[in-house]
């Protein structure tokens, strides 16, 4: 099947990367609100142990699997682009959906599969490549499609006497200071057989046909941003266990600083919040045991001797 390069803004300082950044910021802010007891927090920590959005953001980067997130964005982008371009070009593919069918009693109780025509050019994800440095280029998205689809694009361009295509080729492939084109800027010099066109040449043909169809890529951009695509990707690409562990690392640091400034307050809080104290101890027992807290009557409820733990009651 032919491989075509898909028009793609890439994931470096683009509207796509900005959308992911925004989704991450929203998620970080939501968790910071939970730290303050707003929303539906799992645990309300005392003010001295609460993490700010700045704190959470500082560890978020290390727990997020960005290669996974970027590939998910590329695949979601291709899916949306395929439907948008398919609608603009009048391309459809058979698809199936589950619907309820009315039964003999007149009630919709039986689910059946229904075939329908979905807007689609038939693009299938092939690859996304990223440069080592983003100095001169950005990420590139590749897909496969049918040879028949390419022929229909050519037929559409031919109806325009290839005027739009020829103009686009001159625009994209004319050399200038700082840019040396590896392609001729004259359509007549391009391969005569479509089967010999590479992914860049096929992308140019696709762009010309979308231009002829009056497709507005700003509509496509708004279409992709309208929904929870990026929120879902930010969630699925996050290693939540790693993030929670890193957040607890920061909380232990705050606990250490609090114990140095107000040991009596820490001891009093610990005695009244055994579950939270147990979580801190489970995360980093050595750091908790090392705290210089005053021994009070409350200590028996949570203190563990690291040397002889069996001699003390369990918290």
The CA angle 98-101-107, to the nearest 5 degrees, is: 135
| pLDDT score of 208 | 96
Task: State the average pLDDT over residues 85-106.
Answer: 81
- Residue 205: how many other CB atoms lie within 10 Å: 22
Please check whether residues 152 and 210 belong to one and the same domain: yes
Please check whether residues 89 and 212 belong to one and the same domain: yes
Please check whether residues 95 and 140 belong to one and the same domain: yes
C-beta of residue 303 within 8 angstroms of C-beta of residue 270: no
Q: Domain for residue 71, yes or no?
A: yes
Please check whether residues 227 and 182 belong to one and the same domain: yes
Higher-confidence position of 313 and 45:
45
Does the pLDDT value for residue 315 go beyond 50? Answer: no
Q: Domain for residue 251, yes or no?
A: no
| pLDDT score of 301 | 47
The proportion of the chain whose per-residue pLDDT surpasses 70, expressed as a percent, equals 90
Please check whether residues 115 and 209 belong to one and the same domain: yes
Give the total number of structural domains in the chain: 2
Mean pLDDT score of the chain: 88
Domain of residue 50, residue span: 3-236
Please check whether residues 171 and 52 belong to one and the same domain: yes
The residue out of 220, 236, 252 marking a domain boundary is 236
Please check whether residues 164 and 29 belong to one and the same domain: yes
Q: 244-303, pLDDT tens digit by residue?
A: 999 999 999 999 999 999 999 999 999 889 889 999 999 999 999 898 888 654 445 445
Please check whether residues 205 and 302 belong to one and the same domain: no
Cα 133 from Cα 251, distance rounded (Å): 36
Q: How far is CA 4 from the centre of its chain?
A: 23
Q: Domain for residue 252, yes or no?
A: no
Please check whether residues 143 and 222 belong to one and the same domain: yes
Integer CA distances (angstroms), 79 to 74, 157, 229, in order: 9, 24, 11
């Amino acid at each position: 099947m032919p491989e075509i390069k898909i028009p793609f803004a890439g994931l470096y300082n683009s509207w796509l990367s900005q959308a992911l950044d925004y989704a991450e910021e929203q998620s970080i802010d939501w968790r910071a609100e939970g730290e303050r007891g707003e929303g539906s927090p799992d645990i309300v920590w005392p003010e001295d142990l609460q993490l700010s959005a700045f704190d959470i953001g500082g560890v978020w980067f290390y727990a997020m699997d960005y290669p996974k997130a970027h590939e998910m964005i590329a695949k979601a982008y291709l899916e949306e682009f395929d439907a948008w371009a398919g609608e603009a070009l009048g391309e459809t593919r058979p698809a199936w959906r589950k619907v309820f069918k009315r039964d003999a009693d007149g009630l919709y109780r039986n689910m059946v599969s229904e075939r329908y025509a979905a807007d689609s050019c038939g693009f299938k994800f092939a690859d996304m490549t990223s440069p080592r440095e983003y100095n001169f280029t950005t990420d590139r998205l590749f897909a496969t499609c049918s040879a028949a689809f390419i022929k229909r694009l050519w037929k559409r361009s031919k109806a325009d006497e290839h005027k739009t295509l020829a103009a686009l080729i001159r625009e994209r492939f004319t050399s200038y200071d700082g840019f040396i084109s590896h392609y001729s800027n004259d359509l007549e010099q391009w391969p005569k057989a479509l089967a010999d066109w590479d992914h860049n040449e096929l992308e140019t043909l696709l762009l010309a046909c979308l231009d002829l169809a009056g497709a507005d890529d700003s509509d496509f951009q708004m279409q992709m941003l309208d929904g929870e695509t990026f929120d879902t990707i930010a969630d699925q690409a996050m290693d939540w266990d790693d993030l929670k562990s890193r957040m607890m690392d920061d909380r232990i640091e705050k606990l250490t600083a609090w114990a140095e400034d107000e040991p009596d307050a820490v001891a009093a809080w610990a005695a009244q919040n055994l579950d939270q104290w147990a979580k801190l101890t489970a995360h980093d027992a050595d750091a908790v045991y090392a705290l210089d807290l005053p021994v009070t009557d409350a200590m028996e409820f949570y203190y563990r001797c690291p040397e002889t733990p069996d001699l003390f009651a369990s918290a």
